[in-house]
Amino acid sequence: MPEPETPPGRVYLVGAGPGDPRLLTARALELIAAADVILYDRLIPASALDGARADAELRFVGKEGRGPSVPQEQTEALILAHARAGRTVVRLKGGDPFVFGRGGEEALALQAAGIAFEVVPGVTAGIAAAAYAGIPVTHRGAASAVALVTGHEDPDKPETAIDWAALAAFPGTLVFYMGVGHLDEIAAALIGSGRAGSEPAAVVENGTLPGQRTVCATLETIAETARESDIRPPSITVVGSVAALAGELSWLPPRPLSGRTVAVTRARAQASELARRLEGHGALVVQAPVIRVQVLPGPPLDPAPYDLICLTSANGVQALFERLGAAGRDARSLAGARVAAIGPGTARALAERGVIADVVPDRFVGEALGEALAGVPISRALIARASEARDVLPDALRARGAAVDVLALYETVAEPLSERELQMARNADYITFTSSSTVRFFLDAVAAASGEGDGSTDGSGGGGGHAPWSSGSRIVSIGPVTSEALHERGLRVDVEAERHDVEGVVDALLADAASNASEPAVP
């Protein structure tokens, strides 16, 4: 018997803007929040998917750096398959879907398949990156037209689709997308076809993003200048007299961490808050998650026997509620106990589940939590935590005569990093460590990459003769326990947070950057 037919879902071809998440349109945000399936590209704002439904299917269909991309036919087949299954599909692309976004091809495929679609324009990089660099692409008296051009093609190819003579003669601004790898050839082709070599030109890298950089030169010298500054994709190139306005109209205020790279080593699932705050201050964040949290299986939990429950991390909170939920329990089952949290992040995770912590110490370490509980009568305590953790808190409670059960809810395991991620992290201006396990696993990854086996046990300073990071990197630790893990290996800590949480790490880093203000980057 044939299956009953589901009416096809609607497909939205949505532009996500050039990178700054605040340049997502209201319509894009609304559709992201409603979608059953989101098929997205690489150059979308990092936080664009934050508002997606928890049960939505999020699928990356873009290209990783210079690596392989999902073939276009496969992407189109996916869109059609999801739509035919009745799902609401958002196809999310950087910038505008119809500007070098292959949105036209996808729209034609949908049309041919008889599936209804909607196009949501986005702010396109060629105009937005220029604007963020102070370049108006049209300007009264200077440029009355603008051409958006692909720089992807090698102009030396005989079958090039670009008419260079026509482009050189174009009476206005030229904006090249995807062209930083071909700047020499592009400039030569334009000059060879009659465009003046003395015409202003600018390249904007990571436009609208925290790491935005602009270099200005002339058409003749722009390729060399971009090379000297190590300009990389994504970048747009503007050719025309308006490019000279970049110097004059540069309006983006330099932010305290502009031009600085900061490596975040904590688990990907937890990194976003730290990364977002750092980016908000202008840092270019290098994600190098060396650990992953793995929840340990175990029997359902009955909290009834306990009069105190201590949580030492947001992960612990999540895992605790999973164990409670396994027996059909929820926050109400904690009503009979006092609940203590080691710090504000843990308290926040509890609050999200409807539990307000009774005790949160001023300093966010086991010792302080033990002290904060000094006046609290305890007969039986549960400490819910990671499998590997210090015994300061259980020891302190036992010393007071309490019965203490330590429940290992999760463990941290190594997350493999790509060679490139590790290399970028090792060269970062700042490397942040937010737990002793991030220290251990980072040094293990470095040792493995240098072919020195397990660097975690030799105690010789994190890997034989090789320094684990570049000599210019400054090392940031969240607090004394993490610092100790670095010191034990003979490694220096440059910055230790006073508050042992994400906010504290950011504050400490900002203070350090202010006192070590070296080259202020051009926004």
Question: Which residues are annotated as catalytic?
Answer: 41, 63
In the complex, the smallest distance separating the C-beta of residue 63 from ligand SAH, rounded to whole angstroms, is: 10
Least distance (Å) between residue 40 CB and ligand SAH: 13
Structure tokens at 345: 């992040």
124 binds ligand SAH (CB under 6 A): yes
User: CA 463 to CA 474: how far, in whole Å?
Assistant: 18
Residue 479 or 523: which CB sits closer to ligand SAH? 523
Tell me the residue number closest to ligand SAH, measured at CB: 95
Binding of ligand SAH by 134 (CB under 6 A):
no
Tell me if 43 contacts ligand SAH by CB under 6 A: yes
Q: Does 259 bind ligand SAH (CB under 6 A)?
A: no
Number of chain positions touching ligand SAH (CB under 6 A): 24
Nearer to ligand SAH, 132 or 430 (CB): 132
- Cα 251–255–257 angle (5° rounding)? 145
> To the nearest whole angstrom, how small is the minimum distance from the Cβ of residue 152 to ligand SAH?
8
Q: What single string gives the DSSP state of each residue in 156-219?
A: TSTT-S--HHHHHH-SSEEEEES-GGGHHHHHHHHHHTT--TTSEEEEEESTTSTT-EEEEEET
Nearest distance from C-beta of residue 119 to ligand SAH, angstroms = 12
CA distance 134 to 128: 10
206 binds ligand SAH (CB under 6 A): yes
- Helix H segments across 364-418? 366-372, 392-399
The pair of three-digit structure tokens given for residue 444, joined into one six-digit string: 């293990």
231 binds ligand SAH (CB under 6 A): no
| Residue 178 in contact with ligand SAH, rule: CB under 6 A | yes
Phi–psi pair at 239, nearest 5 degrees: -120, 125
Residue 523 as a binder of ligand SAH (CB under 6 A): the answer is: no
* 21 counts as binding ligand SAH under rule CB under 6 A: no
What is the spatial distance between Cα 25 and Cα 51, in angstroms, rounded to a whole number? 13
Q: Give the residue with the Cβ less far from ligand SAH, 124 or 270.
A: 124
75 binds ligand SAH (CB under 6 A): no
CB of 19 to ligand SAH, least distance (A): 4
**Nearest to residue 324, comparing CAs of 311, 412, 387, 347?**
311
Asked whether the beta carbons of 360 and 344 are under 8 A apart, the reply is: yes
Q: CB under 6 A: which stretch of 27-35, 123-131, 311-319, 391-399 binds ligand SAH?
A: 123-131
Determine if 233 is a binding residue for ligand SAH (CB under 6 A): yes
Tokens of 452: 């020195």
Q: In the stretch 86-105, what mask flags binding to ligand SAH with x, by CB under 6 A?
A: -------xxxx--xxx----
Selected binder of ligand SAH within 9, 18, 121, 240 (CB under 6 A): 18
* Least gap, CB of 204 to ligand SAH (angstroms): 5
Question: Which residues fall within 8 angstroms of residue 433, CB to CB, at 6 or more apart?
Answer: 265, 439, 442, 475, 476, 477, 478, 482, 485, 486
Query: What gap in Å lies between CA 507 and CA 509, rounded to an integer?
Result: 5
Report the distance separating Cα 417 and Cα 487, nearest Å.
24
| Closer CB to ligand SAH, 204 or 319, in the complex | 204
In the complex, minimum distance from the CB of residue 199 to ligand SAH, in angstroms, rounded to a whole number: 20
Closer CB to ligand SAH, 125 or 404, in the complex: 125
Determine, following the binding rule CB under 6 A, whether residue 207 of this chain makes contact with ligand SAH.
yes
Nearest CA to 275 out of 134, 480, 432 is that of: 432
For the chain, report the end-to-end CA distance as a whole number of angstroms. Answer: 64
Q: What is the edge-to-edge ordering of all strands in the sheet holding 284-287?
A: 284-287, 261-264, 430-433, 474-477, 495-496
Work out whether 213 is an interface residue with ligand SAH (CB under 6 A): no
Contacts to ligand SAH by CB under 6 A: 18-19, 43, 93-96, 99-101, 124-125, 129, 177-178, 204, 206-209, 233-236
